Amino acid sequence: MKTNKTIKAIAGTTLAAALLVACTKEIKTGVLSTGNFTDTSAALKSVVSYPVGVAVSNAMNSDPAYASIVKRDFNWVTFENDMKHSSIVQSNGTFNFTNADNLMNAVTGMDVYGHVLGWHSQQNAGYLKSFAGITIPAAVELATNPGFESGLTGWSVFNTGNPTGTSTVTATNIASEIRTGTSAMKVVNPIGYAGSQWRVQVSSAAFPTEVGKQYTISYWVRATAAGGSIRLSTGPSSPQYQGDQNIGTAWQQVSWTITAQLSSTTFLFDLGQAANTYLIDDVSVKEVVAAPSGAQVANKLDEALNGWITAIVTRYKGKVKAWDVINELFTENGEIRNNANTDITPSHVLVWSNYMGRDYALKAFNYARAADPAAELYINDFNLEISSRKLDSLIAFVGELKAKGAKVDGIGTQMHIAWNTNKAGIESMFQKLGATGLKIRITELDIRTVLNSAAAAPTPQLMAYQADMARFVVETYYKYVPPAQRGGITLWGVIDRLSWLYNNGREFPLFYDNNYQRKPSYAGLLQGMRSN
């Protein structure tokens, strides 16, 4: 999860409405409690033996009160954003670990849960797309003075008819003779030399080429009378010839692709075939950059994934004790993500699995294990308490990964929930997760309270409902996840105003208020943790 993830990642509007109806029934039947949530006296880490963590930001280095809470109440931390691909990978593919290193120094003595190695969001997607060839860079313009804005600078007149001087080659500034800009080339050939196109010739300046590579030469041309003819040829040696092009009185673009035979090439306009007046503008010479095949893209992304995972896991080996290796691989209906079922419009999105297929996850786990065999490795997702199809697909996929030899130590359930999230769904989720025999970790817990109501702040009743849900989550975790499988619980943020859900004071999903005081929801966590 991240600071700029939208509410749609929690639940759709229709589903949220359904949950609200269900919760109204719970209130009427007394299932929800507004009981005594006042005891906040103990540090969470002091009442349990498993990891209790919190997501942290660079406030660890700038806000002493914030840092004090983190070190007092928790023994693990997750970096909310500073270990993500977009925070470290630069536009040229190099790594800048400065912010992550600074935060790592600020949490000395605490264990770190690494977030995140493989995710479709918050990538330096621009770099990845360029590196893999998904985005083809614009080819460099190789023509000199292609629009004739500097007259005939860079152009050479080779032949002007028989006898020499019969034809004229000039730069024209007459608006009706120009396609774009303020100038064009004008060639007046009063005599046709059938089969001797070279009799009227204008050459470009030389441009660099690489033998065997293809280059496209294009230009716009029109004649002042019907029946014009033009062709291109190459120089200065080993000439190649384009077929004769019929030219009418309207502007038309002519293109010709050559395979370079020299390290420096010119091209020539051959205009001797038919008598006419020719106007030429907007010339272009560019290398043909072919799109790579799907296999080539997959291989380049595999290279980038391996390099990224190896670099960050190796750097923090021994400090990061567990990793989110794969995050949010599945859609709500249980499909593995691709470009068709994922919003790919944000500039930071790159869906690895669209190009690398199912083995993307397998490779990520293998790269992580190779870099740090001692670290625990997790697959993590959201809405598992709401979408049974997603949950079932994830569990089945973990079985597939393990059958292929992957080291998958645990499953993370984010649990971005609300006070009125359906409790039966939470129970079903923990029951299924506990049955896997793997470690189960609540990775990103927050509990929305206001839910876009008219209230400017959570009422005492809503805070009590939030506390009750916190208690229920922990108690249900205990009920279905055996002690040996409890990977831990992480809260997704410290104080409300720094939550990704805060929305300028319209939501209060965390366990400390903006005055750094423990809320009733903190008491709910304590009650749940002490219930075991």
User: What amino acid positions are annotated as catalytic residues?
Assistant: 328, 444
Query: Residue 23 corresponds to which amino acid?
Result: C
Decide if 423 contacts 31 (C-beta within 8 A). Answer: yes
Contact indicator for 94, 311 with CB cutoff of 8 Å: no
Contact (Cβ atoms closer than 8 angstroms) between residue 361 and residue 329: yes
Residue with tokens 């590579």: 213
By DSSP bridging, strand 228-235 and strand 264-270 are antiparallel
279 is written with which tokens? 């106007």
The rounded distance, in Å, linking the Cα atoms of 450 and 466 is 10
Backbone phi, psi, residue 85, to 5°: -55, -45
C-alpha distances out from residue 135 to 125, 131, 308, Å: 10, 8, 20
* DSSP output for 438-495: SEEEEEEEEEE-STT-S-SS--HHHHHHHHHHHHHHHHHHHHHS-GGGEEEEEES-SB
Q: How many CB atoms lie within 10 A of CB 360?
A: 23
CA nearest to 497, candidates 513, 486, 482, 481: 513
Give strand pairing partners of 259. Answer: 214
Burial of residue 226 (CB within 10 Å: 0-12, 13-18, 19+) is exposed
- How far apart, in whole angstroms, are the C-alpha atoms of residue 200 and residue 167? 7
d(C-alpha 329, C-alpha 39), whole Å:
39
Closest by CA to 10, choosing from 447, 496, 459, 363, is 447
In this structure, are residues 220 and 281 in contact, taking their beta carbons and an 8 Å threshold? yes
* Cβ–Cβ under 8 Å, residues 384 and 429: yes
Angle between helices 294-315 and 125-132 (to 10 degrees): 130
CB 417 within 8 A of CB 469: yes
Element (H, E) at 156: strand 156-160
Query: Between the CA of residue 520 and those of 462, 495, 511, what are the distances in Å?
Result: 10, 13, 8
Q: CA 495, CA 492: separation in Å to the nearest integer? A: 10
End-to-end CA distance of the chain: 29
**Amino acid at site 528:** G
Strand partners, 218: 255, 284
The closest of 248, 266, 360 to 304, measured between CA atoms, is 360
Where do runs of H (alpha helix) occur along 89-219?
A: 98-106, 125-132
